[in-house]
Structures are given as C-alpha cells and as structure tokens.
Amino acid sequence: MATAGLYRRLLPCPPAVEFASSQGKQLFLESIQNGTMEGFYKLVSYFQTQSEPAFCGLASLSMVLNALAIDPGRKWKGPWRWFDESMLDCCEPLETVKARGITFGKLVCLAHCAGAKVEAFHATHSSIDDFRKYVKKCSMSDDCHVISSYHRAALKQTGIGHFSPIGGYHVGRDMALILDVARFKYPPHWIPLKLLWEGMNYIDEDTGQSRGFMLVSRPHREPGLLYTLSCKHESWINIAKFLMDDVPLLLKSEDVKDILQVVSIIAASLPSNFEEFIKWIAEIRRREDGGPSLSAEEKARLAIKEEVLKQVQETGLFKHVASFLSSSCSRQQVSGDGDTLPIIAASVCCQGAEILGGKPSSAGYCCRETCLKCLKAEDDKPITMVSGTVVNGNSEQGVDVLIPSSSEKLCCICSKSKYIRVHPASTDVLTVLLLSLPSTTWAGITDEQLLAEIHDLVSIENLPTLLQEEVLHLRRQLHLLKRCQEGKVDEDLGAPLS
C-alpha cells in the first residue's frame, strides 16, 4: 500500500532555537566572540546528510573523521581516499545498521578502527559538568569534536535514538549547537545543554546501557605504519579468539623450556587463513609517465616505515623468530610458490590495481611483469619500488608499489604449511605479532627463568618510540576486536584498550 511522503518536520521551538533564525544567528555571533565556535568551521565544511534513515551514527562519524583530516587508507571512489558511510562497516555489517541502527559502543569501535583517538562516556558514568567541560573544550578548538548519542524525546522531537555532532557552544545561555545529520528532518539547531544531557541519560533497550558522548580527535601520527589488523574478513573472529584466548592456554598446557619452543607452539597453531587478519600496509600509486616522481609526503612516509622495520629487526625477539623460521624452512621441501619477492610484487601490484581502479577482487587482475627499482631520494637515502604491469581482459595499467627495504632475506615458507605468508617478510610480522600480545599471554609459563626472558624480549618499555607506538596500536586493535567478538563494546566502554 502506498504511503504518504514526509517533507521535513517542524522543529519544536522552544526548546530548540533554529540556527538560521534571527535568534540563532545572534547566538552564533556571540559564541564566535566568546571563542566557542572554533570547531564549527571544519565540521560545517564536511557537513553531510545521512544517506539512510538509520545511518545517523555512520554519517556523524564520517563527517567528523573528514573534518579531522584522517586518511582512511583505502579508496572511496576512483583514486580518492575519503570517509563515507559505506566504508564504516568493520564492526557491524551495513545491512544490520540499515535495519536496526548502531549502538553507541559499536560506533566507538568504528571510530577506533578508522584510526581516530577516542574518549567515550556513558551518561550514567559521567556528569553534566564533565559533559559541559568537554563540549566547551572541543568548541574552542578544531582538534577534537563531540558526537552525542541522545533520545529525541527529551528535545520534544519525533523519533527515538539519534547521533549528531556538536558544532558549538554558547556559554551565557548554556546551549549546544546540534549539527543534525538528519537534515531532511530537522535543520541545525541550538538546544539547552541540560536537555541534551537528559536525552543522553535515556537507556538504549538494545544494550541496557545509557546513551552518551564521545570525543573524537586526530592521533598524533597516522596509526598502523607497517601493519594493521583487519576485521573485514570473516575469519577475524576465530583468529582474535585464538590470539587472546587459545595462545595463553597452549603455553600453559605445554612444558615449554626455551624461546624457540614458545615461537614454535604459537606459529604451528596459527589458523590457515591468518594472512587475512594481519595486513602489510603498502604505498600504492599509479605509474606516472616520465619516471617515479615521488612526492615529499610519499618519501617521508616511506622513510618512517623503513625506520620501523629496521627497529623490528633490531629487537632480540626478531633473532629468535628468524632462527625458528629458518630452521623450519630447512626441514621442508619448498616449491617455487614460496614467499619470494616476485610473488609478493605480483600480489601487491594486483591489489594496487584493484584499489586504484575501484574493482572488486573478482575482477581478475593478473600481474604480467614486475621489476624492482632501487631509487634515491633527495637526501640520497635508497627507496625500494616494485613496478608492475597489471592486465584485466584487454586493459592494462602500470602500478608502482613503495615498500620498506628489509635487510633480511625473505623467508621461503611453503604455501601449504601452517606458517604465515605475509609482506615483506614472515619474520617481521611474526615478531610484531608476538610483541603485540597482551602481557597476560605469558602468565602460564612455569619456568621462571624463561618467563623473565620473555618479559624482557616483549617489554614495551624496551622498544624504540616508533616501534613502541606501532605495537601499542596493534595491541589496542586486538583488544577492541576481542570486545567486538564477545559483544562487550557497550558494557566495557570505559575499559582501557592496552
């Protein structure tokens, strides 16, 4: 049966004050003079309307991430990297969000997965004074933004739970500017902060927890310089469980006596699809006519990656991992399909063509040829580049992949073995993985001398700053994914991630 369409709703005024009204403009001007509209300009530059009735959380988050200039690290459309609602699907399938919306905790999870720094508070675990303090703080800066999760009934509006960013604050009237992402329904409006706080104290029936607010800011550097954990593949739930739950039990049940045995127990038990979970982050670009012509930004990022990889290989743990993988390789009859540079180059060039061309994996890209170039930057530091010609049907395109140089030979591991095959080397990624496991992983080891040796090898405090940040990033990701797997993101919202 056909239903009548709706063209907007009449904004209940009071308690709201429409932003475009004469009173709303006056509040805006007074707030500018008081310095509490600094966050508004970036937000309004990326203000968007939610594309689905239940996408208010996704629209609010993508708007804030773009305002903070956080690079999503993957393509939106064409060659452009840009946050869009359709890309925020790692913690909850989009079809589920479309049908039921998203909980406060899972939106916090999404913000973390997208690379933002997040502080989140349920209303029942905070106070109106703290909320006012954070709103004022973010309104006086464009370095952080507040997303509020509230029930519309408290504002005398139609509907139930809703998300929207806060665009500014009027100190004298104690009013917050709501940049409502449901612009088809209500325009931006000022609302008494006390009423907004009441709306956040409503209980979400899906979680049994109150709604709340989150502070989203840009991390001091891009997360995941070399590696990142992926929950895009369905295998991530089992792998996260293995790393967080099964590994400690394996070490507790085995009578381990040395480091090589510890590495062997973990590596031999890794799920066969483990490479889908931890990804090497490559710099992928189209091959330009007239030479590589690397930008200053590309050179700077690659130099940092090179340094992180160097720091990985200088750890004491790396030497043990390299020794184990080397001995395991020598005992196997390895065919030509190992983890060699040509295979890596072909695989990554095909991946790059998918990203740059906007094609799914089923597009059938095939790398026809690859070559390795050792270039020099302006400061005479070497730059490693793999160039490939990738074909798909009758079309072809050139792809350049910048990779961090490894001082170690790539470990040739049979593709049929249980050991992981990653880029640029299995030794590097297994070392980083072991460093990223929580300290409680090793608690079941009974040999006190071995336990002390392991703690010394995996201690965060003993790592250089860049590698320490890389490891902490992966550790936070792992903790967050485990909470998602257990359905505890709303319950444990305030729990630390590392």
Q: Is 374 a catalytic residue?
A: no
Q: Are 401 and 306 in contact (CB under 8 A)?
A: no
N-to-C CA span, the chain: 53
Sign of the C-alpha dihedral computed for residues 376, 379, 381 and 386 taken in this order: negative
162 is catalytic: yes
- Examine the residue annotation and report whether 180 is marked as an active-site residue of this protein: yes
Hey, what amino acid is at 234?
E
Task: Say how far apart CA 222 and CA 114 lie, in whole Å.
Answer: 11
One-letter-per-residue 3-state SS of 310-340 = HHHHCCHHHHHHHHHHHHHHHCCCCCCCCCC
Q: Give me the sign of the Cα torsion angle 445, 446, 450, 455.
A: positive
Classify burial at 183, counting beta carbons within 10 Å of its beta carbon; exposed 0-12, middle 13-18, buried 19 or more. middle
- Which three-class secondary structure state does DSSP give residue 391? strand
**Side-by-side strand order, sheet with 382-392:** 283-286, 395-403, 382-392, 366-376
Q: Helix H segments across 232-336?
A: 236-241, 247-253, 259-269, 296-313, 316-330
Helix ranges (DSSP H) in 46-162: 56-67, 94-100, 104-113, 128-139
d(CA 202, CA 214): 16
Name the active-site residue from 56, 138, 350, 411: 56
Catalytic residue among 162, 189, 320, 473: 162
Between CA 386 and CA 349 the distance in angstroms is 8
CB of 108 closer than 8 Å to CB of 489: yes
Out of 142, 180, 204, 490, pick the active-site residue: 180
Active site residues: 56, 162, 180
